[in-house]
Structure 1
Amino acid sequence: MKRRTFLQGTTALVLLPSLPAFGQDDIRAAAREAYIYTYPMVKNYLTMYQYALEPDGSQYKGPLNTLVSIARAYTPDDTAIITPNSDTPYSFIVFDLRAEPVVVTMPPIEEKRYYSLQLIDLYTNNVDYPGTRVDGNGGGDFLITGPGWKGDVPKGIKRVIEMPTTLAMGIVRTQLFSPADLDKVKEIQAAYKAALLSAYAGMPAPAAPPSVDWMAVSNELMVTNYWPLAAFLLQFAPPYPGDEVQRKNLDKLGVRERAMWPEADLSSDTVALMKEVVITTEKEIRDEAARLTDSSKIFGTPEFMKGRFMVRAAAAQGGIYGNSVQEALYVIYAFDEQKAPLDGKTGRYTLTFTPETLPPVDAFWSLTMYDRPKQFLVDNPINRYLINSPMLAGLKKSDKGEIVLHLQHESPGPELESNWLPAPTEIFYAVMRLYLPRAAALDGRWAPPPIEALS
């Protein structure tokens, strides 16, 4: 697999007429807007690269257009996706839809189990959801196409889904009821399939797309080589209607499709300032993400996310690949009832469910622990990363029927350990996920119980 990096040096040249001169404040403002607009694409590409384009990397899953299943729940060792869930073993496919569509097969499964194929464009918008909510559990073959595809649809296709970008991500979630249920999940995962349309239909393959020297990306390169990465990705992401201002803004900064950055007509002062803006705006996005308290308005379809560039960027930073609210509602706990940050070094906390305040769902719910600095699952001596609704029968209840969950670093003792969600020895956050939330959760009639600090 070819990889490329771009030179980091700058060239001090006089601005040419093709790139209008701007004052520093204008450049800073334009670069900030450009960074916010492109940040989700670059963040998305980081995962795509690790999963499908870096064969010698620790997070590699398989080649492009190949569906690969992970027959286990996620652990702290899984670091390619921030804020991952550990309820639903994942299957992944990174789509390259430039040459032809891909057919993804979902097998029929039992009615009580949840599954879905989340289809995410390069911008991180959720385009569609083959699976339980949209199609039921009867399975089927789904034709996933690139933008503007006009070919013949073969017999046997249940639905045709057009992706707005030629690079896209597919994430299959299969509900795991308990550790003893893993063999059944493996059986379901083995029936997930992906095939190029030509192979599925038994017809000649179209001409191969132009070869791509896939740019290397890492968390470090997202800082030091950000603008070349953003320019590289524009070729895979046609602009949405309404993005014209943002694309013109990129163009005047020299961030252009299939063009090296910095171009010769960009002054060294502008290059230096744009690199500085990467650092300051990333912090701004991170701060915005830290203020999020639920997911109801931060993930969704291209239409829902239209023009909401900072929200999209904050969502990508705080929990990339979050579900649209109709599929799953996320409640983000970063503070206790008194608005103090959750801190496993100094604090012990409880979250209490009464029979009336249990999350209202048609599928299942879970509460998952994360360390706040890294946004990954928390290593702990009992290897418990979440407490979820399938565990209800094993949780200790009070005489009033209440379930008190304990969020703290040290064990609350043998009698309460069934209700213990281990925390790190640092600041943390927890995420409650409601899969297929009922109307009461969506319209506010149900309110999530607070996390309370013990004295």
Structure 2
Amino acid sequence: MLEAAPKAIRPSVSLKSYGLGFFSLDDEPVVIQVPDFGDRFWVYALYDARTDQFGHLGKPYGSKPGFYLLAGPRWRGLKPDGITDVLRCSTALANAIPRVFQDDTPEDKKAIQSVINQVVVYPLKDFTGQMKTIEWSKVPDILGPKSSGEETKWVVPEKFSDEFGEVLDIVDPLPGEEALYAQFRLLFDTAAKDADLKKLLVDTAVETDHAVIKPFFEWRHNGRPAGNGWNRSTNNAQWGIDYFNRTGTAKSNMFDNRPNETQYFYTDYDGANGELNGSGSYEVTFTPGQEPPVNGFWSLTLYNDKHLFHPNDLKRYSLGTKNKNLKRNSDGSLTLYIGAKSPGGEKEVNWLPAPDGKFSLYIRAYWGKEPILDSSWQPPKIEKV
């Protein structure tokens, strides 16, 4: 279970077990283990250096427990005995984010440990055909970058043109990008010899960061309208040459799943186009049969204005499938209450605590059914009360 703390990359969600690992596939593939998750929803999102997913590994695909080989573009070996499948990454840099559902009960949090202890990655040379285990609850925490609670700045505009040239050298072009790569290389080579051009590149990067990149942090500038004041993700994790939406997601919510694995809905505004603020109180009501139609699970998560969890005494950051004690209305509808002040009484189990200032709401629909995939399902209006 995740708790509120400065995050280095992306909004997190507290209703599943998360993993994150980065791998260099230059010289040797790695083996990633898939234990038997039983009836739980699970998916391993595998990303290349562009944050495009590769391979298909998870319950939506009927994947079996076993050992899966993650191989880079230059590996020419044969599938070893005992390996379930070989999944090819188009870049030498890869990462994996396993996501496994757990509900909000102490019993399930305990029950899941023995399973996730078998989610392990290691070099092919260490493969024995036997499941390895790591007791993750006893592994020391890896501290993130020092943070004052603000967004971690990974891209420095003043250095962009220098670093981008290095990236072009290690990430091969997609089919059709060869000419674009050549144009960038010519531009950077020329700028290295021309101080005025170099200054122009730096100034342009700084201006673009302010005018184009920073606005992506607002959800209304991400994806496309989903109805009732919400936006939804577009082309997530299968960007190809959709540079615009890939950049927006990298800024605001890096490492989305593919749309068929997860669909994301997000907003900074209520149904009347008023900015969400903890000084007010809000209700989100799902009419009977209108909760997100999913084969997996769904959640509504609250983030502060930095896209981080809001610390609160309940340590409650999301509501949804994981919560077994949600109270429904007499007609079967489900109302969730959002605000800095508790709604009190029986309503408190349906309450998402908000900060005093601005905040965002975010719906995740894991393994959505057709109404999610074809956009016919719309999130409900957020009503200010």
- What is aligned with 2:54? 127
2-structure distance, mates of 1:404, 1:417: 11
| 2:281–2:338 Cα contact (<8 Å) kept | yes
Q: Map of 1:19-38 to 2, 5 A cutoff?
A: none
**Structure 2 Cα separation of the partners of residues 434 and 165 of structure 1:** 29
**Aligned position for 2:263:** 329
* 1:368 counterpart = 2:308: no
Report whether the alignment pairs 1:254 with 2:188: yes
CA distance in 1, matches of 2:124, 2:298: 36
Equivalent in 225, 230, 236 of residue 299 of structure 1:
236
1:44 aligned residue: none
CA contact (8 A) 2:30 2:121 kept: yes
Distance 1:315 1:88 in 2: 21
Partner residue of 1:418 out of 340, 349, 358: 349
Q: Is the contact between residue 106 and residue 131 of structure 1 (CA under 8 Å) also seen in structure 2?
A: no
Find the counterpart in structure 2 of residue 229 from structure 1: 163
| TM-superposed deviation, 1:163 | 0.5
Aligned with residue 243 of structure 2, among 296, 306, 309: 309
User: Is 1:402 the equivalent of 2:339?
Assistant: no
Amino acid at match of 1:371: N
* Alignment partner of 2:115 out of 168, 185, 188: 188
Cα offsets for 1:342-399 (capped at 9, x unmatched):
122x322110012221111111100011112x111111121100001121x4122222
Q: Which amino acid aligns with 1:168?
A: A
User: 2: distance between equivalents of 1:172 and 1:295?
Assistant: 22
Following superposition, the deviation at residue 296 of structure 1 comes to 4.3
Q: Answer whether contact 2:55 2:88 (CA < 8 A) is retained.
A: no
- Does the residue aligned with 2:309 lie in a helix, a strand or coil? coil
Structure 1 residues 224, 86: CA separation in 2 closer, same or farther (over 3 Å shift)?
farther
Q: Is the 8 A contact 1:121 1:165 kept in 2?
A: yes
Secondary structure, aligned partner of 2:199 = helix
Equivalent residue of 1:246, what SS? helix
Match of 2:153 among 199, 219, 229: 219
Residues in 1 aligned to 2:309 and 2:195: alpha-carbon distance in whole angstroms: 42
Return the letter of the residue paired with 1:417. E
Q: Secondary structure at the match of 2:127?
A: helix
SS in 1 for 2:296: strand
- Cα separation, 1, equivalents of 2:99 and 2:170: 26
The match for 2:383 is 452
Q: How many residues align?
A: 354
SS of 1:437 mapped into structure 2? coil
Cα distance in 2 for residues equivalent to 1:221 and 1:316: 11
User: Whole-Å Cα distance in 2 between the matches of residues 294 and 325 of structure 1?
Assistant: 14
CA distance in 1, matches of 2:338, 2:176: 45
* Amino acid aligned to 1:240: L
Cα separation, 1, equivalents of 2:204 and 2:302: 32
Q: What is the deviation of 1:201? A: 6.1
Distance 2:364 2:11 in 1: 11
Report the AA paired with residue 299 of structure 1.
Answer: N
Q: Rate the CA distance shift 1:118–1:397 in 2: closer, same or farther, 3 A.
A: same
Unmatched runs of 5 consecutive residues or more in structure 2: 130-144, 147-151, 223-229
Of 288, 308, 311, the match for 1:355: 288
Aligned to 2:317: 385
Q: Deviations over 1:159-213 (max 9, x none)?
A: 11110111111111111112411122221111112221122269xxxxxxxxxxx
Partner of residue 143, structure 1: 69
Structure 1 residues 246, 452: closer, same or farther in 2, change over 3 A?
A: farther
Change (3 A) 1:294 1:129: farther
Question: What is aligned with 1:431?
Answer: 362
Deviation at 1:253, TM superposition (A): 2.5
Instruction: Describe the SS at the equivalent of 1:281.
Output: helix
**Contact kept? 1:107, 1:192, Cα under 8 Å:** yes
- Residue 177 of structure 1 pairs with residue 103 of structure 2: yes
Q: 1:236 and 1:75, CA in 2 relative to 1: closer, same or farther beyond 3 A?
A: farther
Q: Distance in 2 between matches of 1:282 and 1:114?
A: 38
1:94 maps to which residue? 22
Aligned to 2:7: 79
TM-score, structure 1 as length reference? 0.73
TM-score normalised to the size of structure 2? 0.86
Query: Secondary structure at the residue paired with 1:416?
Result: helix
After superposition, the Cα gap between the structure-2 partners of 1:308 and 1:185, relative to the gap in structure 1 and judged at 3 Å, is: same
Once the two structures are TM-superposed, the CA of residue 248 in structure 1 deviates from its matched residue by 2.3
Structure 2 counterpart of 1:379, one-letter code: P
Give the counterpart of 1:164 among 66, 90, 98.
Answer: 90
2:32 equivalent to 1:108: no
Q: Whole-Å Cα distance in 2 between the matches of residues 221 and 394 of structure 1?
A: 43
Distance in 2 separating the partners of 1:121 and 1:360? 30
Structure 1: where are the runs of 5+ without partners? 1-72, 203-215, 256-261
Tell me the secondary structure at the aligned position of residue 332 of structure 1: strand
Range 220-229 or range 126-135, more displaced: 220-229
Aligned partner of 1:193: which letter?
A: V
In structure 2, what residue type is equivalent to 1:330?
A: Y
